[in-house]
Amino acid sequence: MGFEINRILRSSLGAAVLALTPVLAAAEMPVTYRDEGRSLFRFNAPDFWTVRAGGQRSVTPPGGDEARLINRVIGLQPSVDDGVWMGFMSPHGVRTYEDAVEYLRDIGPFIVEDSKVAERERIRIGGLPAARITGTGHRGRIGVNFTVILVDLPGNRVAISIVVLEDGSDPSFVNEINEVFASFRAVN
């Protein structure tokens, strides 16, 4: 009798694990960016990435004395690589591509020092008009590559995403970053 129960448990457990495997492989965490009670956009965070959210705050750039108000930021980072980071925000008063570029001039020194833009390109993200800006710079003494995505949202808002990869980071995370952008959708 004990042998029979053991065999059934093992085969049932094996079937349960096999049944769960495809679900676990495809698991993603939905994230929605909300502002003043209104959902603006959503995306899926990859498994084994840490997601953090922060509210409005004033920050001062290194070596500067003028504080800048930063809106809510949702930050994502793989749990195994501190040199990869991506963040999303939708600042108040930033309604157009030009507004977003100006906003980035103000906050850029907080994210990447001595940035040099390599390419600007108009693209589409989640079916919406968008732009991609890529370049290099550094954080402290570490060289970085960065990508900024600006997405024109409905309702006179712009979503801004910034991706920073430090030199020496695992380049395979680019695939997961691209999957995040492929899942991006505006919320109406």
The one-letter code for the residue type at 41 is F
pLDDT digits (tens, 9 = 90+) for 99-156: 998 888 776 777 788 888 999 999 999 999 999 999 999 988 899 999 999 999 998 9
CATH hierarchy code of domain 28-186: 3.40.1000.10
Give residue 15's pLDDT band: very low, low, confident or very high (50, 70, 90): very low
pLDDT digits (tens, 9 = 90+) for 155-187: 899 999 999 999 999 999 999 999 999 999 999
Give residue 18's pLDDT band: very low, low, confident or very high (50, 70, 90): very low
Tokens 């003043």 -> residue: 36
List, in sequence order, every beta strand (DSSP E) within 22-177. 29-35, 38-45, 49-54, 57-59, 68-70, 73-78, 84-89, 113-125, 128-139, 142-153, 157-166
Q: What is the distance between the alpha carbons of residues 178 and 188, in angstroms, rounded to a whole number?
A: 23
Residue 88 has pLDDT above 60, yes or no: yes
Give residue 35's pLDDT band: very low, low, confident or very high (50, 70, 90): confident
